[in-house]
Amino acid sequence: MKKTIYVFNDGEFKRKDNTLYFETEEGKKYIPVEDVKEIIVFGEVTLNKRFLEFLTQKEIILHFLNNYGYYTGSYYPREHLNSGYMILRQAEHYLDGEKRLVLAKCFVRGASANMLEVISYYANRGKEVQKQVEAISNLTERLEDSQAVDELMAIEGNIRDHYYQSFNAIIGKAEFDFQGRNRRPPRDRINALISFGNTLAYMAVLSEIYKTHLDPRIGYLHTTNFRRFTLNLDVAEIFKPILVDRVIFSLLGRNMLRAGHFENKTQSIIMNDKGRKIFVEEWENKLRTTIKHRQLGREVSYRRIIRMDLYKLEKHLMGEKGFKPFVSRW
């Protein structure tokens, strides 16, 4: 399986013949292009057109984050699997209000089911989150009654609020007290972790979309516009609870991240590079983790499961089979 390269240092990307390398003051580090699917850049880097041309040739996506760990953009090479037919089907399902609502409900249904799975796991282990389990269960029953995407997103927002209310009981650490979601900028350590993890999830899904016939610009839960990708945001909703949040709980539960891995910036708190490196290592471990797939009857990695959900979405758009999002069974 091809891997993700994370670049934290400042330096320059260069191409030499059929090889890429990253040069810093300490020296050169060669990039095994045949084994790389994406490069995620945190540092200040220099690159040229020849470098980008080679990435296009090798179908490698380049993602950029700024010094605060916020996503700033991607170099998304020419889609080699792009399908005019699939784009038309995507557009049809977006422009038809009923068809769009069906898909939007699928994404929210998958997200809420996985949130429920996560906190039910902790409820069964003595954490005081039963109140949130019941609230999410009741709100989930109202999803099917939604008549518009805006109404659906309002219910999804309420579900997520109750879900986040369980975090203090699950984490149980005063230095990671969490009083609710805030972003851009995050104002506490848990919000910094959630924002960073969600960014990794959005990029991971975007990279998987690149390997399908889908166009990432056409989403259904998140409004399609002229400025950003949206389909990856939709699909990531399904996986954030079981990937991002479980990574957060695992890192804090094993004391791998502490207060010293964060720093205060202007009206915000962010992870430092040491903390980010710990997080991305655990994130990659989670994506590589395999589980026994109920339908296939064999071991499948979480990264592969993301791709499989995208294939299921393609079948839905082509009218072959209704989309059912992946729901974890822990």
250 in helix, strand or coil? Answer: helix
249 in helix, strand or coil? Answer: helix
Higher pLDDT, 193 or 15: 193
Superfamily of domain 84-317: CRISPR-associated endonuclease Cas1, C-terminal domain (1.20.120.920)
Please choose, from the candidates 4, 3, 6, 5, the residue with its C-alpha nearest in 3D space to the C-alpha of residue 43.
6
Rounded to an integer, what is the distance from CA 262 to the centroid of its chain? 21
Higher pLDDT, 38 or 296: 38
pLDDT of 232 above 90: yes
Q: Is 289 exposed, middle or buried (0-12, 13-18, 19+ CB in 10 A)?
A: middle
Helices 231-240 and 97-123, packing angle to 10 deg = 20
pLDDT of 330 above 80: no
* Mean pLDDT confidence for 40-45: 93
pLDDT of 79 above 70: no
pLDDT of residue 226: 67
pLDDT of 283 above 70: yes
Q: Which residue has the tokens 């949206």?
A: 230
State the chain's mean pLDDT as an integer.
Answer: 92
* Mean pLDDT confidence for 271-280: 95
pLDDT digits 0-9 by tens, 56-74: 999 999 999 987 788 899 9
pLDDT of 83 above 90: no
| C-alpha to C-alpha distance for 237 and 143, rounded to whole angstroms | 15
Higher pLDDT, 105 or 20: 105
Question: What residue spans define the domains of the chain?
Answer: 3-75, 84-317
| C-alpha to C-alpha distance for 260 and 132, rounded to whole angstroms | 31
Q: Categorise residue 172: left if φ over 0, alpha if ψ from -120 to 50, beta otherwise.
A: left
pLDDT of residue 117: 96
Q: How far is CA 219 from CA 14, 91, 95, 228, in A?
A: 35, 9, 11, 10
**Range with the poorest average pLDDT among 15-19, 24-28, 107-111, 213-217:** 15-19
Rounded to an integer, what is the distance from CA 217 to the centroid of its chain? 16
Band (192; pLDDT cuts 50, 70, 90): very high
* Mean pLDDT confidence for 96-105: 97
Band (77; pLDDT cuts 50, 70, 90): confident
Q: How far is CA 63 from CA 7, 97, 119, in A?
A: 10, 33, 32
Specify the fold of 3-75. Ribosomal Protein L15; Chain: K; domain 2 (3.100.10)
Runs of H (alpha helix) within the chain: 49-58, 84-95, 97-123, 130-140, 149-164, 167-171, 189-209, 231-240, 246-253, 273-288, 302-317
pLDDT of residue 103: 97
